[in-house]
């Protein structure tokens, strides 16, 4: 016994002692190095903090080398964080919080904002480390980072400038201060349509099939809409980005009607935009992680311009895109900008490839039990084709807007397997409006992949109710042994904890801001999903969580 004990002691000393000495020497040397480096400064920076930051930076750097698309995601992420930051700065949130912690209700009153949208911006920034949030008091407070944005010095400059203008000094040639901190919301903003400003929860629904009877034009926007011809003008700025025509695109020149728009807009293409519109038999041979369409979409003029309206969006609850362009995003791209629509459709495909959604969906959910699957808002059939490849007994109907149906068919023609699926009618692209039960075809399984997050509560309930209504009708007429139709929703479930610093939560909150600014939708928590299901007469049966990204889930529903 004694000998065991002494040999254990000896071996732990042999291994443990040198490790402790090694760590001590490293810390000692580093301490010396940093001391030397920063000894000329008054305050000595906290070594451990610097070390940790450096380590994290190196991990990020090498991780992004292994998974290069993460670099792009980070840049996009930062772009949106920056937009949020400029909103809270313009609304002087930091100055208001200097008087003490406040809940979102107080902040919304002080800044004439929508409580819900302001909360979403503050939540995203809190996750990014810009504010504190106290879960018990539900109050936001400044932290060391947000305090850096205290606008007092700017205010002084502004006051000085105004005074000198009034007193007729040399600077009076400027009619107003260059630093505008005006947070006043233009109440005269008029919308030519009947957009439903209420993005809150106040929707009750009978669940009858009449719910979605409105025309799609009324969804998000409607009536006469005058479109801003900004795309054309802003395109000229973008031309400077353009370097050369990519071969896959120029090789399209003898192809159908894709050619015309490609030719007229090819100056827009960035180097590397060789994603979807490919001339080879199999257009999927492009690197799976290609994100050129995503980048093109995010820097597309109509898209970028919407971010300039983020403050108005936070104050009015109307999406920035709608404020800028007078039409909802989907209406605009379907009716007014077929090029943006193509980029969007391609981006959706690239987004799914990036997140490897297909592989996970087919392992998490058994499609074999459902002979006819209807993918509602299924884009260019990305998920549909994948289901067909893995499940030979299934057939798929993709219900989509007119333009996407055209894109889906046209793009599928470039790929042998996909062409075969279309010719053998195992997949059909059906134009239709998911808000109208009459558009929704009969199927055993309905799929809504990243569709519901595009819509505010009232529209989301209309979509879900119209599907649940069709499911109900189908169940009435089906035989006793026949399985009841099901619905699966593939979307994010947001963690309700505001102060969470988990990286994956951050990206879903950034996506939430994109939804708010562009389409007027939102990423939802479990509670918010439950509310939608209840209002649409749907019962949640199962939830399957993705391993990556962990915020995505498949929610299986029945009537």
Ligand X SMILES: C[S@@+](CC[C@H](N)C(=O)[O-])C[C@H]1O[C@@H](n2cnc3c(N)ncnc32)[C@H](O)[C@@H]1O
Read off φ and ψ for residue 366, nearest 5 degrees: -95, 100
317/353 with CB nearer ligand X:
353
**Cβ–Cβ < 8 Å for 96, 135:** no
List the one residue out of 556, 557, 553 whose CA is nearest residue 538: 557
312/375 with CB nearer ligand X:
375
Angle at which helices 69-90 and 47-66 pack, to 10 degrees?
A: 130
Which one of residues 276, 337, 386, 454 is an interface residue with ligand X (CB under 6 A)? 454
Which one of residues 81, 252, 327, 401 is an interface residue with ligand X (CB under 6 A)? 401
Give the count of residues interacting with ligand X (CB under 6 A).
Answer: 19
Smallest distance, ligand X to C-beta of residue 378, A: 5
**DSSP assigned state of 154:** H
Smallest distance, ligand X to C-beta of residue 56, A: 32
Q: Taking the mean position of all CA atoms in its chain, how far away is CA 253? A: 33
User: What is the rounded CA–CA span in Å between residue 485 and residue 483?
Assistant: 6
Smallest distance, ligand X to C-beta of residue 336, A: 14
Stretch that binds ligand X, among 105-113, 301-309, 316-324, 397-405 (CB under 6 A): 397-405
User: What is the rounded CA–CA span in Å between residue 333 and residue 324?
Assistant: 14
Q: Using CB positions, name the residue nearest to ligand X.
A: 377
List the one residue out of 400, 414, 555, 444 whose CA is nearest residue 493: 555
Stretch that binds ligand X, among 8-16, 294-302, 378-386, 537-545 (CB under 6 A): 378-386
List beta partners, residue 413. none
Smallest distance, ligand X to C-beta of residue 99, A: 41
User: What is the rounded CA–CA span in Å between residue 199 and residue 520?
Assistant: 8
Question: Taking the CA of residue 107 as centre, how many other CA atoms within 13 Å lie in the half-sphere pointing to its CB?
Answer: 33
Q: Per rule CB under 6 A, is residue 434 in the interface with ligand X?
A: yes
Stretch that binds ligand X, among 129-137, 445-453, 465-473, 480-488 (CB under 6 A): 445-453
Q: How far is CA 18 from CA 28, 194, 512, in A?
A: 15, 74, 50
**Chain position carrying tokens 């001339």:** 279
Both tokens of 351, joined, read 């987004």
Set 77, 325, 391, 453: catalytic member: 453
For the chain, first and last CA: distance in Å?
68
Smallest distance, ligand X to C-beta of residue 470, A: 14
Which one of residues 332, 435, 533, 551 is an interface residue with ligand X (CB under 6 A)? 435
Q: Per rule CB under 6 A, is residue 382 in the interface with ligand X?
A: yes
> What x-and-dash track marks residues 328-367 binding ligand X by CB under 6 A?
--x-----------------x---x---------------
Read off φ and ψ for residue 505, nearest 5 degrees: -65, -35
Both tokens of 261, joined, read 């728009």
Stretch that binds ligand X, among 33-41, 104-112, 387-395, 429-437 (CB under 6 A): 429-437
Smallest distance, ligand X to C-beta of residue 349, A: 7
Smallest distance, ligand X to C-beta of residue 446, A: 12
Q: Taking the mean position of all CA atoms in its chain, how far away is CA 106? A: 28
305/454 with CB nearer ligand X:
454
User: What is the rounded CA–CA span in Å between residue 1 and residue 334?
Assistant: 81
Q: Per rule CB under 6 A, is residue 449 in the interface with ligand X?
A: yes
140/339 with CB nearer ligand X:
339
**Cβ–Cβ < 8 Å for 387, 416:** no
391 tagged catalytic = no
Stretch that binds ligand X, among 55-63, 131-139, 149-157, 398-406 (CB under 6 A): 398-406
Catalytic residues: 453
Applying CB under 6 A, the residues found at the interface with ligand X are: 216, 330, 348, 352, 377-379, 382, 399-401, 404, 433-435, 449-451, 454
């Amino acid at each position: 016994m004694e000998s065991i004990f002494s040999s254990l002691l000896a071996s732990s000393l042999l291994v443990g002692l040198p490790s402790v000495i090694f760590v001590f020497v490293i810390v000692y040397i580093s301490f010396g190095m940093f001391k030397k480096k920063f000894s000329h400064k008054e305050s000595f920076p906290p070594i451990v903090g610097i070390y940790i930051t450096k380590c994290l930076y190196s991990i990020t750097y090498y991780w992004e080398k292994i998974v290069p698309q993460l670099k792009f995601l980070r840049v996009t992420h930062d772009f949106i964080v920056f937009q949020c930051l400029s909103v809270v700065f313009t609304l002087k949130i930091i100055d208001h919080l200097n008087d003490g912690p406040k809940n979102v209700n107080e902040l919304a009153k002080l800044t004439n904002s929508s409580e819900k949208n302001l909360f979403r911006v503050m939540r995203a920034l809190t996750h990014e480390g810009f504010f504190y949030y106290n879960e018990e008091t539900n109050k936001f407070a400044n932290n060391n980072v947000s305090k850096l944005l205290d606008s007092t010095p700017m205010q002084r400059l502004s006051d000085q400038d105004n005074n000198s203008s009034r007193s007729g000094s040399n600077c009076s040639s400027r009619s107003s201060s260059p630093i505008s901190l005006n947070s006043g919301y233009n109440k005269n903003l008029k919308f030519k349509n009947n957009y439903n400003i209420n993005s809150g929860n106040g929707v009750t629904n009978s669940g009858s099939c009449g719910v979605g009877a409105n025309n799609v034009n009324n969804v998000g926007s409607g009536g006469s809409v005058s479109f801003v011809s900004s795309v054309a003008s802003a395109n000229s700025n973008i031309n400077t980005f353009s370097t050369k025509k990519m071969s896959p695109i120029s090789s399209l020149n003898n192809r159908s009607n894709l050619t015309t728009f490609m030719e007229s807009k090819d100056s827009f293409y960035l180097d590397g935009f060789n994603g979807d519109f490919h001339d080879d038999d199999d257009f999927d041979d492009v690197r799976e992680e290609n994100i050129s369409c995503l980048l093109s979409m995010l820097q597309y003029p109509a898209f970028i311009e919407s971010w300039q309206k983020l403050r108005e969006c936070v104050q009015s609850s109307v999406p920035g895109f709608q404020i800028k362009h007078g039409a909802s995003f989907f209406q605009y791209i379907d009716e007014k900008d077929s090029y943006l629509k193509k980029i969007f459709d391609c981006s959706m495909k690239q987004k799914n490839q990036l997140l490897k959604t297909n592989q996970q969906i087919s392992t998490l959910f058994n499609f074999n039990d459902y002979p006819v699957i209807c993918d509602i808002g299924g884009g260019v059939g990305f998920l549909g084709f994948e289901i067909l490849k893995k499940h030979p007994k299934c057939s798929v109907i993709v219900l989509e807007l007119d333009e996407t149906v055209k894109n889906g068919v046209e793009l599928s023609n470039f790929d042998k397997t996909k062409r075969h699926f279309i010719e053998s009618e195992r997949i059909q692209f059906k134009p239709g409006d998911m808000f109208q039960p009459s558009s929704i075809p009969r199927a055993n399984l309905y799929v809504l992949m990243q569709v519901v997050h595009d819509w505010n509560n009232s529209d989301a309930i209309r979509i879900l109710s119209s599907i649940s209504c069709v499911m109900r009708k189908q169940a009435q007429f089906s035989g006793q042994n026949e399985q009841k139709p099901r619905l699966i929703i593939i979307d994010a479930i947001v963690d309700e904890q505001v102060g969470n610093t988990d990286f994956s939560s951050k990206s879903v909150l950034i996506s939430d801001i994109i939804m708010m600014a562009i389409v007027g939708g939102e990423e939802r928590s479990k509670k918010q999903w439950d509310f939608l299901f209840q209002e649409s007469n749907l019962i949640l049966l199962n939830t399957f969580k993705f391993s990556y990204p962990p915020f995505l889930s498949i929610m299986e529903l029945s009537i």
